[in-house]
Every structure is written in structure tokens, then in C-alpha cells.
Chain A
Amino acid sequence: MSDVVLQVRNLQVNYATPRGPVKAVNDVSFDLRKGEILGLVGESGSGKTTMGMALVGLIRSPGRVVGGEILLNGRNLAGLSEDAYKKVRLAEIALIPQGAMNSLNPVTRIREQILDGLRDHGVILTRAEAEQHLQSLLERVGLRGEVANMYAHELSGGMKQRVAMAIAISMKPKIIIADEPTSALDVVVQKRVIETLQDVQAELGASIILVGHDMGLMAQTVDRLGVMYAGRLAEIGDIGKTLVDPKHPYTRLLIESLPSATEKKPLRGIPGLAPQLLNLPSGCAFHPRCPHAFERCTLETPHLIEAAPHRWAACHLLEVSN
């Protein structure tokens, strides 16, 4: 398929601990299409951040990508050396890290931080070219040109988030991974930052993976949604259809637990606790919390099956009902 820019196949990321390896990302496969926004949701510890870090080759010891492939236009990134990955990162696939506002250097001007990445990739610009590029980047993310001369502490949270975005798009990557880009922002600012991200995407024709835990944000932003649970992909498919008719019980509970702003209803959380990755339940990791669990769920790990056209879910119930 020509419209697929990134194929992730059976990706496995482990963290080594004294008590054995923790499978933070466990056998995850999905495609990212050209120009789409793919959402990845999950609770803390579901592996969504590790997933994003793995795609840009930033898994550091004690973590390690132990298996699977990350195919960017057919080229496997999973086995690349750090030096080779450096050339890919930012230029082809860029990350807006979680808490991007804290990722800025407090003692360097914004200008230097944006140009740093370019220099590192051997982009040689004259002073005038650099200035022009800076201004157009800042303008693109909705910042005034003066910001280039400022320090991080002079900027608000939303502005810092935009600077991180400007750095991420400085080399016009085809894939942007945004890890909770708005989690510390007010709702109004959040909306603007997301709109900027969408504008940037439209201009670059890039694909975005939006990592987060806010289902509402996903509903309003992404084209397709992947739901992660305990390192695995529980469900992936079109966002609209997923919201109306979720195929995995976890997705359903996640949607039902959202406080609505339009009607008052009893507040219902997901019963039970998030699993400990070191000591995962047998079979389907969600079975202790699942209202529909049956015997097979405790024994056998479900794999993604096509539950509806282009919609995939990993749940034994789907096979029962089919």
C-alpha cells in the first residue's frame, strides 16, 4: 500500500529490572497512513509513551527494543545504530516530547535551540537564511518573531509547547509524534495548540501520532484511534466508529468513564486497578477488570482480529459473537 508511511510490526520493548524484564510494549503492530492523525490512548503504564520513544529511537537503557520492525518507507529503523538514527530523527520522524515545556534549555535563547537541531543535521545556512527560516517556523506555530530572542522562562506554557513544535517541524519531517502535547495546558490554550498542530500538518502533509489519555481530545482531533492496555494494542480503528461502537470492553469502559458536559449521569470509573507490568495477569491482561471475562480470557492472550472493516480489536468475545 502506497499510502502507508510507517509500518510497525510486532514491536517489543522491554525494560530490564532486577525482577525480570518488563514488557512495556508487547507485540504491537499498526500502520500509519500518509496525512492522518493517529491517536494512541491508554492509562499510565500502558506503554504509549514508550511506544512513541521507540519510534524515534530514543529508548535508553535499561530499556531496549528487543523485537519487531519499524518500517519507514520500507526501511527498518529498529536495528539502526544511534549514529544512523540521528540522521532520521528530526529530518524524517520528529518527537514533541511529553512535558515539552520542560524540555527546553533554560539558559539558551530559543533561536539557538531551534538552530541547534539543524546544525546537528549538517544543514548549513547563512545568517540571513537562518533568520528567515526561524521567522517562518515561529510564524507557522503562531508565535511572534521576537520569541527567538527570548529564554524559556519568559514564555507561557502554551508558547513553550509551540516552540517545541517549531523545533519538531524545523526539518519538515513526514512523521510527527506528539506525546501529550497539551496535558498541562488550559482548555482554551489546548484547543489552540491542537489547531496549530493541525495547520502544520496540513502544510507539511505530515502524519501525526498523538499520544494521550484524553478521549475527548482524541474524539475532536484524530482520524483513527489505537487503545493500548498493558503494553498491547487492545483496539485500533476509525475514531467515529470506535466512539459509537467500541469493540473492546476496555475501550467501552474508557468511553463510559468520561464525565460529560452535556448530561448528568452517575460517575463510573473502570473497576479494579491498572495491572503491574512485572506481574501481568494470565491470558488477556484486562480480564480481572473485564465485566465480560470468561474462562478462555484467563488462559489465552487474544490477538488483534478484524472486528469490522478496517477495525481491529484483541478480544475473545469477538470470536464468540462471530
Chain B
Amino acid sequence: MKAKIIIKYLGFVLLFNAIFLFISAGISLYLHETSYVPLLFSAFMCTILGTLPQIFVETPDEVSFHEGLAISVLGWTITCFVGAVPYFMWGGEFTFANSLFESVSGFTTTGASILKDVEALPKGMLFWRASTHFIGGVGIILFVLLILPNKSGAQASLYRSEVSDLSMMNFKTRTKEIANIIVTVYCSLIALETILLKVFGMDWFDAICHSFATIATGGFSTKNLSIAYYDNVQIEIIIEFFMLISSIHFGLIYATILGKKLNIFTSKITRSYILVMAIGILLVTLQLSYEHVYDFGTSLRYASFQVISLATTTGFATVDTPNWPLFSILIQIYFTIQCGMVGSTVGGLKFDRVYLFFQSLIKQLKLAKHPNGVYAVKVDEMTINNEVELQTVVFILLYILTFSVVALLLTVMNIDGMTSFSASITTIGNAGPGFGNVSSLGNYAGLPDAAKYLLSINMLLGRLEIVNVIVFLTIITRRK
């Protein structure tokens, strides 16, 4: 591992952050807000620190997988710290722990907030908060990939370190093209949603910020009441549609637009994903209307929004859900664990792994019945090899182990069981709001600082897919 190569790419990461900091500072200056000072200053610091490695280090011909992994893990970590600087400089509700939590939550597209009064923040700062979702949505390393020259040998390693093997399944093209496809789909969806939200009643600023949060499946709103503030069914339907689309493999969305054979409608795994979500919405709707929490129409409205919001790990809210019946809460917790599909902007466990796990389980049961039989696990006509099957099971076990340990550590800090459990699940799944004291319209401000640091690590682990972090730490300790 060559430190200078890693530092060079970390410099790119800082420069990319600087672009959005400058835009946010520009908005602040335009609106005569005092928040331009922390934003502009952070932008300058990022530019200076990011430029230094570019002066010394030439673009390398090759980046090894280990270097790619280090760039990815350190890039995300540095980005989260850099993102916290404007908040910390602004002060108010932003202590250091709160600033870091808000920044990690933004970049990992978790959407969990410590802010009690979001609307009190100046617009420049709100735009930076939304920008962290935009940058984190497809991953900052992917943006770095776009600016690398075509012949650079760094692309494959960087891409492999940022995107899981499972995500590459629906892509049959070169790394740079994949990055182009992802970013094109991402930006097109944001543009389309912004226009629709504007048409149906939001102002331009709110429409852009909410589109960043929807397509990145983040969940930061510019309003204290989140989407409930608008109380507008059309806006809710638009956001539901885009949350759903953003949680589907971007390769499949692109294939659908191009009219390819394997698309959203023909993909078995996508159909299963939507079917499971539809069943979840139906069950919650039936219980809410049966128990007279709301009438059928209102139950359907709230259930569909909340289930889609949690299943896609977005975390927007139209209603505070802790008062819902237990069964409905449990269904929502299940969806928070399941998360969206690989190759999209969602974090966490991901539906594909759950799907593969059950396919693998069926295979093992068949093998137990017919030991000499030959069975294969298939996803959309692609045969999954045993190695990927094993990786999936290991990942699921690591995921369960991590959120259990984090939940246990939270209870040690005198946080009640429901809050600890749901905070741990929703942060590792990058979903955002949980239940208990961290419910849909609540926030994480009341948790102790130690819990905020722990949950920040949990969010990063969820975004970096745990295994990458473990491998990186193994490499570092082995070198020592």
C-alpha cells in the first residue's frame, strides 16, 4: 500500500466536498445569511488540503485493491469529519458529537437527526445538509471515479472497494461506464423529482433538498414535521414513487429506459422486492383500519408512506408511528432490517441478500433430502456460485452480530430497550428514524454523546458494508 496514492485520492474527495461547500456558501451569501462564514471557510480548508497532494503526487497507473479499500474507508471517514466542520463552526445545537452525528447521518444517507428545530437553520446550512445526502447517495468514491482518466488502472480497484460484488451483477460493461450509468440515472431522477415536487406545491429550495434526500434514500427534510408539514397527498405519492425507484438496482432502471430484456418488470428479484413491500403495506393498512386507528383511506395513505420510507431506508415521515399497534411496528422493524436492493442508493443488509439467503436455505433443504442432487441458486437467470452464497450468509451473521452488540452497548448507557434496539437497527440499516425515543418525528438529540459516537460508527459500518472495514483493519494491523 502506497500512502501517497491514498493521500492523492483523499485529496480528490476533499475537493469534491469543497464544490458543494462553495455552492452552500454561495446560497448563504445570496440570502445574506451569516452561515456563509463556516461554509466558505470549510470550503477553503477543503480546497487547500485537497490541492496539496495534487501538487506532489502524479496520477498513478495502477491502484491495488488494498489501496482502493483504504481510499474507500478513509475517504468516507474523512468526508464525515469534514462535513461536521461547518455544523461545529455554526454552534447552537451542534456540539462536536452532534455535528459528527449529523454529518455521518447525512453522508451515509441515514437521515437520523439531532436537530430539534430544523427550520431555525439558515438555508445555506440546510443546503449543505441536503448536499451530504447527494454526495453520500451514490458514494463519493464513485464521483471520484468519474474524474479519473479512462486509461487509469485505478478505476477497477476503486469501484470494487466501493461497490459490493453483488451490486455488479446487473452490469455488463466497463467500470467507467457503470459509474457513468449510476450517476446519470441518479441525477436524472433528482431532476425529475425536483420538477414534480415544484409543480405540486413545494418551493424550488425545498424541492431540491427533498429530491436529494429522496433519491439518496436519506431522509433529511427542511421541515420539523418532515413530509407531514405539507399534508399533501400528491407530494406524498411523488416521494413514495421516487423512494421506491431509488431503492431498485440502478442498472435495472437504466436497462428499463433502454428497453433491454432484463429490466425492472422482468427481474424476478425486483418483482419479489415490490411484492414483499406490497404485502407489508396491505398488512399495516388492514390492522390500522381494523383497530380503528384511522379510516381505510387514511390507513392506506400512512401505511404506504411509512412502509416504503422505512423499507427503502429513506426515513421521511408523514405521521408519528410509535402509537401504532405492535404488529404494525414489528412489520416496519422487519423492513428496516431488510432494506432496499443492491446497486441502488440504499445501505444496510439489502433485500438481495435476504432473497439469496432464503434461496440458499431452500437449496440446503433439497440437498438434505437428496444428498446426491445438483441444485443451484439463481438470481434473474444468473447462477450464484457457492462463494457468493457463503459471503452472503457471513455478511448476514456479521450484520446481526454488529447491531446486537451496538444495541447491547446502548442499553448499558441507560437507554431503554426499544430505543436501543431500533436505534441500532435503523442506523446500521441507514434508515434513520426508529421507535421509542427516536421515532419518526422525534430525534436523537436526547441520547448521550457516547451513544451518538457509537451510532455514528454503526452508520458508517452499515454504509461501508462491515466486511470492507474489517478487511481494512486487518490489513492495517497486519502491516503493523
Q: Do A and B bind each other?
A: no
Q: Which positions in B face A, CB cutoff 8 Å?
A: none
Q: Which positions in A face B, CB cutoff 8 Å?
A: none
